[in-house]
Structure 1
Amino acid sequence: MNPMKKTVLPKMLCFSAPDLREQIEALPEGTALIGISTTGRAIAVDLDAESPHVLVCTGAGGGSTTMLRSLTAQFLHQGAHALVLDPKRISHLWAKTLPTVTHRGNIAGIHDALTGLAAELERRLDLGGDLDGVPRLIVAIDEADATVRQLTRYWKTFRQTGDPTTSPAIAALQDALWSGRAAGVHVLFDGRPAGVLGAAVREQFATVILARFTAGTWRRLAPVAGPAPKQTGHPGRFHVIQHDSTVHETQAIVMTDAEVVNWLTDPDDHQS
């Protein structure tokens, strides 16, 4: 099979690029644009038809925070609510200003937010699939591996005799990954989930977005996609693996904090 001809993409695919915002706004509810592939194809994630959760994993400086911001913003624009867990406390400052977003940074706040998620998940599941009028909930977890380790240590500091060994916050996250589709809860996970949540949880991510990966990371997170492809040092370039095991080299959309806030607070302002 001859390789598909590559499209020359811009060095950076900005939200302000001509017609890009209109293309994003025309997507159906539950679908978000990841970027444009090197073959010129629009690469998107569909939370309802294909991928209830999205896995993003990159090396340092690989753009995972930018990816989480872009995807979360698109779902918010469609009417979703979001819980943004930001252990660095400064990676998602845009989230602090929006009424439909709960932003948590310190580990105590993240713990409480996830234990609250457990109750919300149960409430939604009790509706038996009747989610009309219930907004989709996006749970975006930056630096997820480190966050889960911190949650484990935090739970040990005040766990009492008779309490479960596993942190209830981590248990809530696991439940959201397994039951989220039925409850309209979707996790955007920045990290390597098998190492912290168990190998079986990898099955819950039908869309995997990788950049600056090692061969070992590729084997663990994209085993059905064949050998690891040659990487590129091009900024904003990711490899997207979706449910059919196809690999798309993709230039991702970049949305700045200001663009996200302007878009979500004044969606009719097309100068943002």
Structure 2
Amino acid sequence: MTTEKIVATLQLPDHFQGTAEQKKAVTALANARLPFEVEARWRTTKHPFTVDFVRVAQCPRVVPFASVRDKVEACKPGEILIGLDRQRKPFHGSFLADDPHWGFEVGSRRGKSTFLSLSAAQILHQDPAAEATGIDVKRESFKSLFGVPRFHLHNDPADIAAMWNGIRHVKKLMDRRCNERADDPTLEFPFHLLLIDELSQFSAQSMQLWRQIKEKGDPAHPPVWDDIAAIMWQGAAFRVHIVLAGQRIDHQITGGIGLITSLGFRGLAGFRRQNWMRLAGTFPVPRSRPERGRWIYSDGESETWVQNIWATDDEIKQWATTTSHDTATEAAVAGPTEGSGKWEPGTPAAEESTQRGAEWVTGNVDAAAYLGIHPETFRKRRQAHEIPNTQRSGRSPTWTTQSLDEWGAMWEQETSEQPAEVA
């Protein structure tokens, strides 16, 4: 059994009642004052009332696909392994539950393309009859699925009408299944996943096209939103599901016809307070994490931090083109794509570099992401104790991963051994 180390203690006033709202407020205050996340351990049965704070366990820095491949294979059809939570336990999303449609507000360079492509690949892998449709106005999100059978991609930003037709095709598929079920109530169908990325841009370009072609008496919103609404309201019964992703998801962007409430499973990464309140709406508002692939998920009742699976394009394509009944070949070696030559925070290549101590991390932001702390916290700690062997790359400081690891370990030891009073 692991003994928790107290990192801070707060003495509470005698009139403290210990209601759920008060405890949330105190915990939020501690998390705002301390340079790391904490959980509270309350001592309010006798005076003096106190609360001890213990440091929250963090998700792994990276979850390579190869390390969880057996767990991905074990998923039942309609269930997706997303990553590992703070206890290193598998975290799943399921289209079999009461949340058949998903929505994600994710900032740039947070692993959104990998998440969407790997989600589609898992659905395709689970059932040779399953299909997926991808809508991408920036031609970036589904590169790993180019040419994959049963994946229907519409990604020409100059042809928004073709994207509408792709969505209409999914809606007609749902309608056919509805009619077939009416004739035979015992029918079961394979999954069909509709993924729409860069939702804000898709919405804006759809409105632009609609203004050009709409006639008198037509509705104010593009008709594509009626097709999306029909799928959201009826699709789950026929195993047709939608995943929406972008840097902003709100009432107006989704056609202004009340679709937000149909997104039962939601996630955020690289978010601000207003993003959280718009999509999750719970208190206290968590602080966004800097690590790439570190998302927080909400099902309306609880929130969970997760490090999403990281996979190469080759791994994703291979998984999508084989099924659970095939003998899978060895996955491609994880690492940067050819010619990139750039270290990415939170990638398997970075983890390997840590072990070798031979790679360099340049700039305060990337170094903070590598250590899993906020950039401002990193800056303050550097002011107190400079990192040994700091070098310069142009105007930016640069360090070996070994130097960062040793310096980070020093801070962790100091904060764990010296409990602090919260002012």
Q: TM-score, normalised by structure 1?
A: 0.89
Match for residue 175 of structure 1? 230
Q: Deviations over 1:41-93 (max 9, x none)?
A: 32111112232011111112222222211211111111221000111123212
Q: Which residue is 1:29 aligned to?
A: 77
Is the aligned partner of 1:187 residue 2:237?
no
Aligned ranges for residues 86-235 of structure 1 at < 5 Å? 86-106=136-156, 107-128=160-181, 130=185, 132=187, 134-191=189-246, 192-197=249-254, 198=256, 200-223=258-281, 225-235=282-292
Contact 1:57/1:64 (8 A) holds in 2: no
Quote how far apart the aligned CAs of 1:40 are: 2.4
Farther off after superposition, 58-67 or 180-189: 58-67
Looking at structure 2, the residues matched to 205 and 234 of structure 1 have their Cα atoms a distance apart, in angstroms, of 25
Asked if the contact 2:113–2:140 (Cα under 8 Å) also holds between the matched residues in 1, the reply is: no
Inter-partner Cα distance in structure 1 for 2:234 and 2:122: 23
One of 26, 36, 48 as aligned partner of 2:96: 48
Map Cα deviations across residues 131-168 of structure 1 (whole Å, 9 max, x no partner). 74532110011101210221121122222345444322
Equivalence for 2:308: 252
- Structure whose alpha-carbon radius of gyration is higher: 2
Whole-angstrom distance in 2 between the partners of 1:100 and 1:4: 48
Match of 1:38 in 2: 86
1:233–1:48 Cα change, 3 Å? same
Q: Give the secondary-structure state (helix, strand or coil) at the position aligned to 1:56.
A: strand
Structure 2 CA distance for partners of 1:237 and 1:131, relative to 1, 3 Å: farther
Aligned mates of 1:264, 1:4 — CA distance in 2: 42
CA–CA separation in structure 2 for the residues paired with 1:210 and 1:45: 14
The CA distance in 1 between the partners of 2:60 and 2:89, in whole Å, is 14
Gaps of at least 5 residues in structure 2 are 1-39, 42-52, 332-423
- Change in Cα spacing, 1:7 to 1:74, as seen in structure 2 (3 Å) is farther
Runs of 4 or more above 4 Å deviation: 3-9
Residue identity in the other structure for 1:214: R
- The CA deviation string for residues 169-209 of structure 1, in whole angstroms up to 9 with x for no partner, is 22111221222212211111003042322373222222111
Show CA shifts across 1:23-46 (max 9, x none): 111111111011111122321111
Secondary structure of the residue that 1:127 maps to in structure 2?
helix
2:122 aligned partner: 74
CA 1:174 to 1:122, structure 2 compared with 1: closer, same or farther past 3 Å?
A: same
Letter in 2 for 1:141: I
Partner Cα distance (2:145, 2:92) in 1? 22
| Aligned residue in 2 for 1:60 | 108
- Structure-2 separation of matches of 1:193 and 1:126: 33
SS at match of 1:233: coil
Alignment pair present for 1:263 and 2:316: no
How far apart, CA to CA, are the structure 2 residues paired with 1:123 and 1:221? 33
In 1, distance between residues paired with 2:181 and 2:278? 35
Call closer, same or farther: CA 1:90–1:131 in 2, change over 3 Å.
farther
Q: 1:180 to 1:5 in 2, by over 3 A?
A: farther
Structure 1 contact 45–51 (Cα < 8 Å) conserved: no
